[in-house]
Amino acid sequence: MTNQEIIAKLPYSKPFLFVDEIVQIDENGVEGTYVFDDSLYFYNGHFKDNPITPGVILTEVMAQIGLVCLGIFLLNDSFNQRSSIALTSTEMEFLKPVFPNEKVIVISEKIYFRFGKLKCKVKMINEREEVVCMGTIAGMIV
């Protein structure tokens, strides 16, 4: 399965698709990117006159790239239209703000994938190679 095929299988669409590119993926992890366009709806009221990306959105980006893309890759052909990956837990530490028009890189390392549950160690870095946030994220294949 190609990286574009994985992105096409994601159960999201704009404006809630937060994956631009999968840079690398294998059975142990994934690396992908996303650019936060300044026209995204959540910037309109999140810290007026100085918008920053909400932590819940940063978590969603890490979930889409670091958990769902990896889960689709691991399931390969058994992931279909009726399949989905439901978030079950997160533990995040937010270290730096992400501003409109910033590109971020998500790096996810598989901790385990068994009995339909995928758990990963994830981190997000900015283009200056600073860690923006990091933690663990888990989900169930349903």
Active site residues: 46
Of residues 66, 77, 82, the one with CA closest to residue 32? 66
Beta carbons within 8 Å of 62's beta carbon, 6+ residues apart: 92, 106, 108, 122, 124, 133, 135, 137
